[in-house]
Amino acid sequence: MLVSVRFPREGHKFFTICLSQVQELGLQTAYSDNDAVYRYIRKLMALPFLPHHEIRPMFVRLSVQAETQPLRDLIAYIQNQWIDSTIFPQKTGVFSMSRSVPITTSKDGTML
């Protein structure tokens, strides 16, 4: 069974950027094989879906939980490129975004 959802464009962009950084930082194996690492990175990827006033406090809470250098590097990247950036629209999150892109996922939630 396939499930089709509408994914806000900015959320999709952030998700894609995070996945490319996971690969670049050598976290792909841990992301795929370690449930705790997978859940931690997914929480980071979910930040744009929080109300804008909750994004920074949640990021801070998550950042202190980074236990390995690659995870700390991912935190630093997200902070530099998104949290502290004036370019990426972090101040609004996806709640104010009206555009979305269709994403098709399988029943278990993996993107196709």
pLDDT of 53-82, one tens digit each? 888 999 999 999 999 999 999 999 999 988
- Gyration radius of the chain's alpha carbons: 14
Q: How confident is the model at residue 12 (pLDDT cuts 50, 70, 90)?
A: low
User: 48 has which bridge partners?
Assistant: none
- Helices and strands, number each (H, E), in the chain: 5, 2
Amino acid at 44: L
Distance CA 87, CA 91 (A): 10
Closest CA to 14 of 104, 109, 85, 67: 85
Give me the mean pLDDT over the 83-101 stretch. 56
Return the percentage of the chain with pLDDT > 70, whole number.
66
Residues 12, 6: Cα–Cα separation, whole Å: 10
Q: What residue has token string 């909750």?
A: 54
pTM, full prediction: 0.69
Contact call for residues 58 and 93 (beta carbons, < 8 A): no
